[in-house]
Amino acid sequence: MKGVKNICCIGAGYVGGPTMAVIALKCPHIKVNIVDINEERIAAWNGDDLDQLPIYEPGLKEIVAETRDRNLFFTTDIEKGIEEADLIFISVNTPTKTYGKGKGQAADLKYIELCARKIAEVAKEDKIVIEKSTLPVRTAEALKSILENTGNGVNFEILSNPEFLAEGTAVEDLLSPDRVLIGGDNTETGQAAKNALTEVYANWVPKERILQTNVWSSELSKLTANAFLAQRISSINAMSALCEVTEADVDEVAKAIGMDSRIGAKFLKSSVGFGGSCFQKDILNLVYIAKSFGLQEVADYWEQVIILNDYQKRRFADKIIKESYNTVNGKNIAFFGWAFKKDTNDTRESAAIYVADYLLDEQADIIVYDPKVSKEQIYADLEYLNTHSSEEIRARVKVVSSPYEAVEKAHAIAVLTEWDEFINYDWSKIYDAMLKPANVFDGRNILRKEELSEIGFKVFNIGK
Ligand code: NAI
């Protein structure tokens, strides 16, 4: 196959945007078009103010500044993008189904299917189509069938190239990935397609880190990776509950076990629970797949990771209520952080949403400060749950643009995201502004407890 000169990526989101920006940076000889149906998102990617890109990731705006309109283009002209491309990445969202069969567990593949049908309609020459979205095992087969049966008689090779970046460190992860995984057929044309994509990554990734597998291993590896990562968090969070009743300290336990090279130190930080668009959705998807193959025990095993995570969020909210003399009715609870983790403006499945929802059930007043999340996003997240009316949410939840404003006459502070800036606030000033006793619930175990206790705060941690 001839060298790749033109790439199209369908989906300008948290994965498509940063991934293609890095490809454009490292492959100046390749033209990269990122296309999306969302006009507002594309306009934001093309905006003059690089601080207003639709996605916040450290290091991203610098790369966009260098590559945009050089060999990186953001457009809503999906047809043209597809027509020009040698390689087409599909990087659209694959949320959990909210209706019909598999509701609440299976991945909703409608956006993927729409992309396949569009590619089939538009493509006039052979193309390599790459699943970048996280998909259930054997989706490539379905894609192939749509492309072959509705297309213009051109040949499509389908590859699976799941993305392992983590939000907040996306650019770093993309620049030096632990590995790049490329799954495809072992036929002659399949191998040529895998090699063509390998050559793109080889512009900056050492070849020994580029793994080629069959397409199903690749699809399943992504779900497995997320299941294992989330399982570590639920495992340490389970221990955090035990630590709290035994006077063990979860951070000490995590350190002690993490030094065992068979276990390793990463992903052992206990917290209010994991969030993000992927872990829950991908594990539920795994559960659904296992069930649909009749593997009930396998499904139950992985589902427990989610059950434990829900328990952890609930436990945190319950702790706030219990330590507030068993009622938060009409009390001001300041939330530090709303994003699902630091260094991102992504709030999907953030623990903050669920903790806020539980506290709203108890008629608390919530004042939120997050350095990167907009007011409208916070309201939208709560409204999406459909458990409280829009009027109630807007009456009870206030979103402010300074932490000091958030704590004015607050009964308690709950730390929901581990933003670094929270650690170095003027905590004496915060103490003075709050009602007493001034309770701090550190859902991320990031604050300097001793210092805060000396000021007068009562600090509650996870797993201590
Ligand atoms: P996202 O929701 O940020 O972006 C998806 C984009 O696709 C949206 O802008 C949407 O408008 C666009 N889109 C949907 N249907 C379209 C269509 N038919 N034509 C053109 N554009 C369309 O989603 P995100 O977070 O980028 O995730 C994409 C995929 O990558 C998902 O499958 C996710 O599981 C996976 N993934 C996400 C990671 C993350 O950290 N967010 C990490 C690794 C994988």
The reply to whether the predicted model has a pTM over 0.90 is yes
Which atom belonging to ligand 1 lies closest to the Cα atom of 55? 3
Instruction: For ligand 1, pick from 8, 35, 36, 89 the residue to mutate: most ligand atoms within 8 Å of CB.
Output: 36
Catalytic residue numbers, as ranges: 278
- Do residues 105 and 287 touch, judged by C-beta distance below 8 A? yes
The pair of structure tokens assigned to 375 is: 């007011």
Between CA 226 and CA 279 the distance in angstroms is 6
Q: What are the residues facing 32 on neighbouring strands?
A: 7, 72
Query: H/E element holding 381?
Result: helix 375-385
Between CA 112 and CA 107 the distance in angstroms is 10
How close is the Cα of 95 to the center of ligand 1, in Å?
A: 9
Residue 59, Cβ neighbours under 10 Å: how many? 16
Instruction: For ligand 1, pick from 88, 89, 92, 345 the residue to mutate: most ligand atoms within 8 Å of CB.
Output: 92
List the binding residues for NAD(+): 11-16, 36, 41, 92-96, 133-134, 167, 278-281, 348
Q: Report in angstroms the alpha-carbon separations of 360 from 195, 300, 408, 410.
A: 54, 31, 19, 16
Q: Does domain 216-464 have CATH number 3.40.50.1860?
A: no
What residues does each domain of the chain span? 6-213, 216-464
Say what the pLDDT of residue 148 is.
86
CATH architecture of 6-213: 3-Layer(aba) Sandwich (3.40)
Instruction: For ligand 1, pick from 277, 283, 347 the residue to mutate: most ligand atoms within 8 Å of CB.
Output: 277
- ipTM score assigned to the predicted complex: 0.98
- Listing DSSP states for 317-365 in one string gives HHHHHHHTTT--TT-EEEEE--SSSTT----TT-HHHHHHHHHHHTT-E
163 lines ligand 1 (CB under 6 A): yes
463 lines ligand 1 (CB under 6 A): no
pLDDT in tens, the chain (464 residues): 568 999 999 999 999 999 999 999 999 999 999 999 999 999 999 999 999 999 999 999 999 999 999 999 999 999 999 999 999 999 999 999 999 999 999 999 999 999 999 999 999 999 999 999 999 999 999 999 999 887 788 999 999 999 999 999 999 999 999 999 999 999 999 999 999 999 999 999 999 999 999 999 999 999 999 999 999 999 999 999 999 999 999 999 999 999 999 999 999 999 999 999 999 999 999 999 999 999 999 999 999 999 999 999 999 999 999 999 999 999 999 999 999 999 999 999 999 999 999 999 999 999 999 999 999 999 999 999 999 999 999 999 999 999 999 999 999 999 999 999 999 999 999 999 999 999 999 999 999 999 999 999 999 999 99
> Hey, is 300 helix, strand or coil?
helix
Amino acid (one-letter) located at 322: K
- Do residues 135 and 160 touch, judged by C-beta distance below 8 A? yes
11 lines ligand 1 (CB under 6 A): yes
Q: For atom 10 of ligand 1, which residue has the closest CA? A: 11
- Angle 287-213-218 from CA coordinates, rounded to 5°: 25
Domains 6-213 and 216-464 equal at CATH topology level: yes
Which atom belonging to ligand 1 lies closest to the Cα atom of 115? 18
List the binding residues: 11-16, 36, 41, 92-96, 133-134, 163-167, 222-226, 262, 269-275, 278-281, 340-341, 348, 444
